[in-house]
Amino acid sequence: MVKRYLIVKLLAVNLLVAGFAVVVVWLAIDTLAAGYFVTLMEKYHISPEPAHAMFVDSVHRYLVWALGGAIALSVVLSYVINRRILKPLTRMNVITEEIATGQFSARVPVSTADEVGQLALAFNRMAENLEKIETLRRTLMIDVAHELRTPLTNMRGYLEALNDGVLPPAPETLALLQDETLRLAQLVEDVLSLARADAAGGRLNRTQVNLKGLVERSLAAHTLTIEDKALTVRIKADTPSMVIHADADRLARVLRNLTDNAIQYAPDQSVVEIRMALDSSNVRVDYLNTAVDLPAEDLPFLFERFYRGEKSRSRHHGGAGIGLSIVKELVQAHGGSVHARLAGKCVEIGFILPTVV
């Protein structure tokens, strides 16, 4: 219905143009050409009446024929050309209805490179992004449910055992219940932090920040873990201060998460290296630690929510797999990008921020 209505409107425009042209020519002949014809006949002493009437009638008849031909040609060309032009728009209307019902897989065929083709490309990108968002939403719900189920199941089992008298209310049992409770609280806090990171783009409080100082403070918070695992931490920086323009609190969260990730997954008695490079347009920070059974195909997913390289989802390292997702969101809020790659036996995880905003 939309396509037919647009075709009718476009056809009406063409017919109005053709009709206007015929009317202008008609009036021009009646007012100008006919007068010139009479003057010419009188100059050669020829009676103008019969010839004038014949001339005007002939021209009018030709104009009527021309108008009929123009109308027929306009109808055919308008239908063929406009139908081809409006086909993507009709398809968009159908796909919009499908998207409204939750079906995001349909795409508009792109056959031209003009404005309509560009609109179809933009529409397909929108549909693709909506599909990704919906997939992320469903995955997030499944992952959150999975993460909540394990501690809740453990707590339920302990409480039932206590209630049935199978387990005594010993300090060890209460400590286990407390650990599961803290684990739930940490998961809720991680999800809340991720939601705040998603909304951080428009609310950054940018100031002059000493990047190297933030890195050193993030390491200080992990001093005990570093000593327990006998890790060697090296910091390599281009300049002593590394002052950049960023949101200090959110950048500190990025560095804490990266530091926590590097130290937790570093094997005992290994080396953790932090590299910082600053130039006129960007600052780059990389954390390197020994990769333990991390396949290359897992690298693109390290920054996905709830992702962990441990396929069994072991709790040995703790966490819910949200830390690097928060890093990604906060870095992108600053206009930067994150990256991960394998360098020999080491995994390199870091980010790049623009120094000029």
> Of all residues in the chain, what percent are helix, strand and coil, respectively (each to 5)?
65, 15, 25
Q: What is the pTM of this model?
A: 0.56
- pLDDT for position 285: 93
- In the chain, the domains with their CATH numbers are 2-103 (no CATH), 128-198 (1.10.287.130), 206-354 (3.30.565.10)
The DSSP bridge pattern shows strands 232-237 and 271-278 to be parallel
What's the average pLDDT block by block, 10 residues per block, for the chain (357 residues)?
A: 59 74 73 63 61 69 76 75 74 81 77 75 84 75 71 82 82 80 75 64 77 89 88 86 84 89 88 88 90 74 64 45 80 88 86 80
Instruction: Determine the pLDDT at residue 275.
Output: 92
What pLDDT, on a 0 to 100 scale, did the predictor assign at position 6? 60
Q: What phi, psi does 223 have (nearest 5°)? A: -60, -45
Model pLDDT, residue 312: 41
Q: For position 315, what pLDDT does the model report?
A: 43
Task: Give the per-residue pLDDT at 351.
Answer: 93
CA distances from 13 to 9, 17, 23, 78, 81 (A): 6, 6, 15, 10, 14
CA distance 98 to 95: 5
Query: Can you give the pLDDT at residue 193?
Result: 66
